[in-house]
Chain A
Amino acid sequence: MVVTTLEAAINWFRKYSIWPMPMGLACCAIELMGAGASRYDISRFGSEVMRFSPRQADCMIVAGTITYKQARIVKRIYDQMPEPKWVIAMGSCACTGGMFRSYSVLQGLDKIVPVDLYLAGCPTRPEALLDGLIQLQKDVMQEPVLRRQFQHKHFQGREM
């Protein structure tokens, strides 16, 4: 089975070179920095190359409270990222709005972009982020890269 083997190889390359795009919006971004620093060291999993340009990134880590004002910027940055791309919603604010049941806060990142992974925590510990990254790597290994020409993630959120 040459095809699956090649697919597995491509996925293996991909999963150990996920370049994150740190979308640090609130206190979760501090934990994201902690995960990048020497004690937790995200480079053990091949994701130390934080790219501050969406065009060079594979995985947007949305860390923090998304206000409505920021939501359109998050959406635009997601749209600028090239395929293949993944999104991690880090912390309860990014997942659901968290404790901010408020007029100014978007109630969950999945209202504007498709989310691959939700991480609980307020804020999320670096260990949890690393665990999430490992889960995402398992997801990446499952992707049918060569068997489907165009991937369209199932997404029913609102276009902003």
Chain B
Amino acid sequence: MKMTAEDFVQKIKTAFPDIVEDISEFRGEFSCLISDAMRIHDVAQYVCNDLGFDLLKDMTSVDETEAQGRYYVVYELFSFTHRVQIRLKTYVPKDAPKLDSVTDLWNSANWQEREIFDMMGIQFRNHPNLQRILMWNDFPYHPLRKDFPVAGKETDSELGIHTEAAPWEGGPFVTKPGVLGTNEREPRSKEN
């Protein structure tokens, strides 16, 4: 019988009953929320080796400004043998965001983890080459965090790169993150 995504998610829940906090379904896609970020590597190892999810399609992170956990990391997994996709999520501690790297299981995690580190400042233990991938090496901020202004800040670099805050910071044509409703979130102009 063909295994569905729901079966696999239930298998994860039976294997790790104490840390699978929530299973959610949206349009046939199943997400598994892991409560203990310290054990994400165990779950990933089980999913990779025992359940046969051999492809990490994507890996990304989300900054929820006001939420209790603040950052969470998302793993999009696919199995070529079963033709099934599942999703793993885990909240990272917001004061010292740190996770175990899964590069030993999926090679595709290498650059994704570097990008998450670069853009959101989440550290990965046991990563073979954890350095910035998009910004230059001594850039002092993590620009995709919600508390970093889109216009940037003034910085100087030993590489000879000097940045300034872009003009029109704070308006008039800017969006407000976290505000529901298009009229409020994307005003035509703040001056009106």
- Residue numbers of A with Cβ under 8 A of B are 68-69, 71-72, 97, 100-105, 107, 158, 160
Cα distance A68–B160 in the bound complex, in angstroms: 10
A103 touching B148, Cβ below 8 Å? yes
Query: What residues of chain A lie closer than 8 Å to B28, measured between beta carbons?
Result: none
Q: Taking the complex as formed, is B161 at the interface, i.e. its CB lies under 8 A from any CB of chain A?
A: yes
B163 touching A101, Cβ below 8 Å? no
- Residue numbers of B with Cβ under 8 A of A are 134-136, 141, 143, 148-153, 159-164, 166-169
Query: What residues of chain A lie closer than 8 Å to B151, measured between beta carbons?
Result: 101-103
Query: Chain A nearest CB: distance from B7 CB in Å?
Result: 43
B152 touching A160, Cβ below 8 Å? no
Please give 10 more A-B residue pairs, beta carbons under 8 A apart, in addition to A69-B136, A160-B160: A69-B161, A100-B166, A101-B150, A101-B166, A103-B152, A103-B163, A104-B143, A107-B164, A158-B162, A160-B162
Main secondary structure on chain B at its contact with chain A? loop
Query: Chain B nearest CB: distance from A142 CB in Å?
Result: 32
B160 touching A102, Cβ below 8 Å? no
B135 touching A104, Cβ below 8 Å? yes
Q: Which residue of A lies closest to B144 (CB)?
A: A103
Cα distance A102–B163 in the bound complex, in angstroms: 10
Query: Chain B nearest CB: distance from A84 CB in Å?
Result: 26
A107 touching B160, Cβ below 8 Å? no
**Of B136, B149, B161, B166, the contact of A97 (CB 8 Å cutoff):** B166
Cα distance A30–B173 in the bound complex, in angstroms: 28
**Of B159, B160, B169, the contact of A101 (CB 8 Å cutoff):** B169
State whether A107 and B153 are in contact (beta carbons under 8 Å apart), knowing that A72-B160, A72-B161 are contacts in the complex.
no
Query: What residues of chain B lie closer than 8 Å to A158, measured between beta carbons?
Result: 162
Query: Chain A nearest CB: distance from B159 CB in Å?
Result: 7
Q: Which residue of B lies closest to A76 (CB)?
A: B160
19 contacts between A and B (CB under 8 A): A68-B136, A69-B161, A100-B166, A101-B167, A101-B169, A102-B151, A103-B143, A103-B148, A103-B149, A103-B151, A103-B153, A103-B163, A104-B134, A104-B135, A105-B166, A107-B164, A107-B166, A160-B160, A160-B161
